Amino acid sequence: MSIGDEYNLEIKKTIIIDASSEVVFKAITEPEELTQWFPDQAILVPKIGGKMRFVILKEIHPEWKLDRDYISEGTIKEFVPNKKLSYSWIVLDTPDFPETTVVWELEEIGPNKTKVVLTHLGFTGKEKGLTSIESHNEGWTDLMSKLAKYCTVEE
Mean pLDDT along residues 49-75: 93
The string of pLDDT tens digits covering residues 117-146 is: 999 999 999 998 889 999 999 999 999 999
Please name which of 92, 90, 149, 91 lies closest in space to residue 116, comparing C-alpha atoms.
149
Phi, psi for residue 21 in degrees, rounded to 5: -65, -30
Q: Tell me the domain boundaries of the chain.
A: 3-151
Residue 129: CA atoms inside 13 Å, Cβ hemisphere, count?
A: 11
b/e map 74-90, b = 16+ CB within 10 Å: bbbbebeebebbbbbbe
pLDDT in the model for residue 7? 54
Protein fold of 3-151: Alpha-D-Glucose-1,6-Bisphosphate; Chain A, domain 4 (3.30.530)
CA distances from 116 to 9, 47, 48, 50, 90 (A): 20, 20, 21, 22, 22
Answering whether pTM is above 0.95, one says no
pLDDT in the model for residue 43? 98
Residue 153 — very low, low, confident or very high, per pLDDT cuts 50/70/90? low
pLDDT in the model for residue 2? 36
For the cut 50, the answer to whether the pLDDT of residue 103 exceeds it is yes
The string of pLDDT tens digits covering residues 108-118 is: 999 999 999 99
- For residue 154, count other CB atoms closer than 10 A to its CB: 4
